Amino acid sequence: MSSANKRVHDLGSLIEGTKGNAAFAVVALQNANALSSRFGLGFSSASQQAFARRISDLLRSCDQMMALGTDKICVVFDELMDDNHVLLAGLKLERAFEEPFSLDEVSAHLEVRAGLVYYGNRERLRNLDVEDLYRFAETALGNAVERKVCFEISSEEAFAQMQKDWETNYELDKALKEHEITLDYQPKYRLNDGELVGAEAIVRWRRGGEIIPPQQFMPALNDTRQWELTLYTLRRAIREMCSFDAEIPIAINVGGRVLDHPSFMNTLRSELSIWGVAQGRLALEVRESRFDDAHTLAVLDELRSLGIAVVIDEFGRGQASLEKFRDLPVDEIKIDRTFITNLVDDQQDQQMTDAIIDLAHRFSKTVVADGVEDAATFEYLASAGCDIGQGFYLGAPLNESQFCRLTAQI
């Protein structure tokens, strides 16, 4: 029996042994690698043992656990009465890790995240096979990591959404193989003189004569599919750049999970080298919410050292603090379009936009406005000193051949 099959078999035995309404949980020691690199292997090994021991100590006689590794454990909380008991199980787990772990006068918090699925008395969840139940708990665990909370409990509604997400991932895999994914390019213009200074590559999923916008499918993608789509986008955009007459930067949206991929930097260098595209021709847009992550900041520093421009996307919605703003490894600030949509009529949006422009310029950052849809918005932004704009008033997204003709006119 292969190791994967054995794991499925063991999980099945764990779940089949439940007597009543039960919750299945996947619990992870999130900062295991950080503890190892900071305090050494001895401390890391002891902390992983403490992680398993604390979970074991909070279980009742009817509960069961199974280690999937040194930093991930599956738990079945059995004989639960209702949703409140599931919540209580999560809270007990959270309290078990409130105290830091100490060894030889060194202490550190064990950062634990968990995804729980209450499946025993749920009609739609009771008959899930082992792998689907595990994936469902892993999805809840991922949400807990994203929200930076100790645990998340999934519901039947969440399961229905997860099924849709699985279907989206499956369909996108087919779309990539069948060349249904293409790129459009939305021009970026300098506002004070109208010069074309760049473009944003926008992913288009053309399915059955219908164009599915990115916001409808991107949030559903798992890590693997995000990586595959970003890799496809990078390769296609870099290849198509070769046919553009103007040597202007093309911006590509890159998710934080893609930046975490161990092959990201080498892949990027390789693609630019293969096609002979100067690194300065590429810009990467990263959401503001990723700028509090140390690994992301290190990657962005490396990108800028190569001459690749970095853009904070959707600025104004995340948590980039003023304290850190001056040191952010970015070249451009893209104002979130929620501030631009009602800019002409909303005084608070005007004040926020003016403040972002002023702050960015004080630290020598270029300011881009996304969503310039009418003349009044264009005039306000130009008079406020915004550097660059994009939106339908300035230019609609164009396919490769259309954008080629546009660059040929420069």
pLDDT digits 0-9 by tens, 292-342: 677 788 888 999 988 899 998 888 775 555 667 777 889 999 998 899 999
What are the residue ranges of CATH 3.30.70.270 in the chain? 3-154
Confidence of residue 125 (pLDDT cuts 50, 70, 90): low
What are the residue ranges of CATH 3.20.20.450 in the chain? 179-408
Position with higher pLDDT, 128 vs 27:
27
Q: How confident is the prediction for the chain on average, in pLDDT?
A: 87
Helix and strand counts by DSSP (H, E) for the chain: 17, 16
How large is the angle between the packed helices 223-241 and 156-177, nearest 10 degrees?
A: 30
CATH topology assigned to domain 3-154: Alpha-Beta Plaits (3.30.70)
Q: What percent of the chain has pLDDT over 90?
A: 50
Amino acid (one-letter) located at 332: E
Confidence of residue 370 (pLDDT cuts 50, 70, 90): very high
Per-residue pLDDT at 12: 74
Per-residue pLDDT at 403: 95
Q: How many CA atoms lie within 13 A of 31 on its CB side?
A: 16
Position with higher pLDDT, 260 vs 126:
260
Per-residue pLDDT at 2: 59
Asked if 183 contacts 203 with a C-beta cutoff of 8 angstroms, the reply is yes
Asked if 272 contacts 238 with a C-beta cutoff of 8 angstroms, the reply is yes
Q: Is the dihedral of CA 334, 338, 341, 343 positive or negative?
A: negative
Asked if 336 contacts 355 with a C-beta cutoff of 8 angstroms, the reply is no
pLDDT digits 0-9 by tens, 264-299: 999 999 988 999 888 889 999 998 767 767 778 888
Tell me: pLDDT of 162 over 60.
yes
Matching CATH number, 179-408, of 3.30.70.890, 3.40.50.2000, 3.40.50.620, 3.20.20.450: 3.20.20.450
Per-residue pLDDT at 183: 94
Give CA–CA dist 76/18, Å, rounded: 8
Least confident of 33-42, 192-201, 322-331, 337-346: 322-331
Per-residue pLDDT at 199: 96
Q: Which of 13-17, 57-61, 314-318 has the highest mean pLDDT?
A: 57-61
